Amino acid sequence: MGRPEMRGLRPGKLPPEILGHLLAKLKRGDPRVLVGPRVGVDAAVIDFGHINLIAKSDPVTLASDLVGWYAVQVNANDVAATGGTPRWFLATVLLPDGSAPRLAEQIFDQIQEAAETLDVALVGGHTEVTIGIDHPIVCGTMLGEVAPGGVMTSSEARPGDHVVLTKGIAIEGTAVLARERPGRLAAAGVPRETLDRAARFLQDPGISIVPDARAALAAGGVHAMHDPTEGGLATALAELASASGNGLRIDSAAVNVYPETLEVCRALGVDPWGLIASGALLISVAPESAAAVTASLRAAGVPAADIGLMTGEKGRLELVKDSATEPLPAFDRDEVARVLE
């Protein structure tokens, strides 16, 4: 197979075929690396004997508001989705030329606040003023730990598993659009109270899935978890299926889309299925344990719904909508990137 075309890339994740091509070229020689880089896998896992280290690195680039707080949350989410507990955080903070010193202080305060909420220690990183950018960027690295045998990866989803979704979709995307484009949304007729509620989605229902993962694992029977981020729920479902070599069949009516999300998306011509979706957790669970997992989540105050099944039909991604079956929608980039560019 020839080298994939590298020209004309647009903001957002690398297309999976290009990323897969690049990852396939990596040499894998360290036996202590239990989980290495792979499309659709949330974090790396390294064997430290009595404990396994989880390592995750993720930037915040699509928003300029609360970037420090975002960076801690999204990196902690991927550690939790791997079955572990986030412990230590490093941040690389890039500030535009001419930034006021107060901006650096605000970002540090945001990082510290989020870290304290999750009982995570800020242990290092780097800060600089950088040419060529027009808004602050924070690149975070979260380290966590998980006991041997407790590692979760999206590659372990199995045919027949039920797919459970926590909270609802596009929580982060709804907040980003409300915070970054309030004037445009107001001009499109979105009421002020709706915008205020949407902007608070970062905290309520919240973008952390650390409690979600903890409650799901406590119930047992979980085979895999995956954290939907850029590209929204549709992309996360495709990644889960691809990483595990499965197909899936999803009931559109079972997927919760918040009223505020629907209103924001309608005003901007956005599809919520392709909108950045931190705050939700996808869980692939043995059929006999699905009810217990949803009950455990609800008991912990986390809304949850059984939205479909993993199938053995590799590459077949189906969405049941109004009693008809159609292909799962696909997005070559996140909807929020399209709006903000």
**For residue 163, which of 20, 271, 318 has the smallest C-alpha distance?**
318
Confidence label for 201 from pLDDT (cuts 50, 70 and 90)? very high
pLDDT digits (tens, 9 = 90+) for 236-258: 999 999 999 999 999 999 999 99
* Average pLDDT rounded to a whole number, residues 51-60: 93
Spatial neighbors of 164 by CB under 8 A, at least 6 apart, are 216, 282, 283, 284, 285, 290, 293, 294, 297, 304, 305, 306, 307
Confidence label for 25 from pLDDT (cuts 50, 70 and 90)? confident
Q: What is the mean pLDDT of the chain?
A: 92
pLDDT at 62 > cutoff 80: no
Position 63 scores a pLDDT of 64
Confidence label for 279 from pLDDT (cuts 50, 70 and 90)? very high
Position 2 scores a pLDDT of 46
* Dist. CA 145–CA 243, nearest whole Å: 22
Q: Which of 57-66, 108-117, 168-177, 281-290 has the lowest mean pLDDT?
A: 57-66
Position 14 scores a pLDDT of 79
Highest average pLDDT, of 1-10, 33-42, 114-123, comes from 114-123
* Dist. CA 48–CA 45, nearest whole Å: 9
Position 4 scores a pLDDT of 47
Q: What pTM, to 2 d.p., does this model score?
A: 0.89
**For residue 199, which of 180, 179, 170, 181 has the smallest C-alpha distance?**
179
Q: Which amino acid belongs to residue 158?
A: R
pLDDT at 142 > cutoff 70: yes
- In the chain the domains, ranked by start, together with CATH numbers, are 28-146 (3.30.1330.10), 154-340 (3.90.650.10)
Written as six digits, the tokens of 157 are 């989803």
**CB-CB contact of 229 with 334 (8 Å):** no
Alpha helices in 150-306 (DSSP H): 171-180, 182-187, 192-199, 210-219, 232-244, 259-268, 290-299
Q: Is the dihedral of CA 233, 4, 43, 241 positive or negative?
A: positive
* Average pLDDT rounded to a whole number, residues 278-302: 97
pLDDT at 199 > cutoff 70: yes
In sequence order, what are the beta bridge partners of 91?
Answer: 125, 140
* Average pLDDT rounded to a whole number, residues 32-56: 89
* Average pLDDT rounded to a whole number, residues 205-231: 95
Position 148 scores a pLDDT of 92
**For residue 194, which of 145, 263, 277 has the smallest C-alpha distance?**
263
DSSP 3-state percent helix, strand, coil across the chain (nearest 5): 40, 25, 35
